[in-house]
Structure 1
Amino acid sequence: MRIGRLWLCLGKDGRGLKTKFFTVAKTSEIDPGRARVVYVQGIEIALFNIGGEFYAVDNLCPHEGGPLVAGTVQGIVLTCPWHRWQFHLKTGCSPMNPAVQVQTYPVQIEGEQIRIGMVTD
């Protein structure tokens, strides 16, 4: 089960749900300013290294399915390469339209291992 940001913004705190973390890459495999696609539980995720901080979002843009991994990032705002829709990498919110969001995932670093969290019930 995936919990969207809008659900959390509506006052749902996710109590009773658990996050399971999956190792997807090593920190040395993704240079700062770069991104790559990883898969967790069959979900295609874009993993970004922004100045040594890692962010994970669904790779498909919710607007028309553009590959977000190929987008550009300024600060922590990601721009889709297809139609220039933008998303905040921490929250998934779009400054262009608050009703449109991309799913974000928690990221943990353990040693050199990058781990992405998925919500389970």
Structure 2
Amino acid sequence: MNWLQSWRCGSALTMLLTWIWCYRTSDGSTPIMPDHHRLAFLAEQGSDADFFSAEAIDRLHRCLEHTPLNPMAEFQVVCRTADIAVGDAKCFEISGKRIGVYRLTEGFYAIDDPCPHAGASLARGCIEGDVIHCRIHHWGFGIKDGLCREPHFPQHNVQTYEVRVQNDEVSIRTPPHERDYRLNERLM
């Protein structure tokens, strides 16, 4: 018995799990669900009998290939501790998102790299204490908390990421929607 046949045998359980993930709106229109699951096409296949057709199951399988197995945030190794000197920063790209990793005397910190004002790389800016200044317009952001400090514009704060140092490796906790289980090339 292949996986398709065994899955079809357990259709009641599969139906239950599918309805946990997505549900029909009260007017019977397209189900509401998280964008990254992309299961709406299955709920609109018609009756429940053909909901579990081989074609529908194959589509579900292809869809789930792109869904992380663990929906919880995970740490990803980005570099070794020796790669970043105290008072320095490097930028890494993780799943298409640029993240700056900073090493201060107190430890390692990570924030979104693009300046929300002009898009320049914050990691290439000037570090003064625990503030990084953008090299274009000199806006200052807290390395530890991501707050936009100079000028004080709370709407321009940058995202911070939890950093872990273990066995001489620096890891960043990435949210599940940004994680693709591989680290792209270093930008600098």
1:65-104 matched pairs, under 5 angstroms: 65-95=119-149, 96-104=152-160
Count residues with an aligned counterpart.
105
Which is greater in Rg? 2
What SS does the corresponding residue of 2:171 show, helix, strand or coil?
strand
- 8 Å CA contact 2:88, 2:127 repeated in 1: no
Q: Which runs of 5+ in 1 are unaligned?
A: 1-16
| Aligned-partner Cα distance in 2 for 1:79–1:69 | 9
Q: Which runs of 5+ in 2 are unaligned?
A: 1-70, 178-188
Q: Paired residue for 1:19, among 68, 73, 93?
A: 73
- 8 Å CA contact 2:110, 2:163 repeated in 1: yes
Letter paired with 1:102: V
Q: Paired residue for 1:44, among 94, 98, 101?
A: 98
What is the CA RMSD across the aligned residues, in angstroms?
Answer: 1.5
The TM-score, its normalising length taken from structure 1, stands at: 0.80
| Aligned-partner Cα distance in 2 for 1:39–1:67 | 12
The TM-score, its normalising length taken from structure 2, stands at: 0.53
What SS does the corresponding residue of 1:82 show, helix, strand or coil?
coil
* Identical residues among aligned pairs (%): 31
Letter paired with 1:73: I
Deviation at 1:42, TM superposition (A): 2.1
Instruction: Point out which structure has higher relative CO (alpha carbons under 8 A, 6+ apart).
Output: 1
Deviation at 1:52, TM superposition (A): 5.2
Normalized per residue, the structure richer in helix is 2
Normalized per residue, the structure richer in strand is 1
